[in-house]
Amino acid sequence: MAWRGDPTGISQTCPLIDEVICFLNNIEWDEGEEDLDNDSTRMVQVLEMIRTANTKLREFGHEQYERANEYEKDLERANSRIDELEKESKYYEKKIDSLEDAISDLETQLIEQQANI
């Protein structure tokens, strides 16, 4: 089972940790095995630390996933804007070419008129 809202589909480790803790808690130690009981208690504590670290890591990964999605959307918007600006630039380039042609024609006409004077 994946973590709540986790789009990656990575399984939760908590059920596995719970299973190991349950196993450790259900061991019936014989008299004189207090050291083993203490070790078992310490193992449960370590597993709880692992659970906490896993949760933090999963939350961090989820936040980074969301950030990456937002960056992708920003990139798509930026690329769309670039396309719009490139089209607009081509329009103005054609407009400038047209105006330059008109100026050239007017200059030619002016030169011809001055030659007739």
Would 101 be classed as within a structural domain? Answer: no
Would 3 be classed as within a structural domain? Answer: no
- The whole-number pLDDT of residue 117 equals 79
Nearest to 30 by CA among 45, 40, 20: 40
Give the C-alpha separation, 112 to 117, whole Å.
9
Full residue range of the structural domain in which residue 63 is found: 14-91
Would 53 be classed as within a structural domain? Answer: yes
| Mean pLDDT (whole number) for 20-41 | 86
Would 98 be classed as within a structural domain? Answer: no
- The whole-number pLDDT of residue 30 equals 81
Between 116 and 50, residue with greater pLDDT: 50
Predicted confidence (pLDDT) at residue 34 exceeds the cutoff of 70: yes
Would 99 be classed as within a structural domain? Answer: no
Would 109 be classed as within a structural domain? Answer: no
Nearest to 99 by CA among 91, 32, 38: 91
Would 108 be classed as within a structural domain? Answer: no
The tally of domains found in the chain comes to 1
Would 41 be classed as within a structural domain? Answer: yes
pTM over 0.95: no
Q: Which amino acid is located at 117 in the chain?
A: I
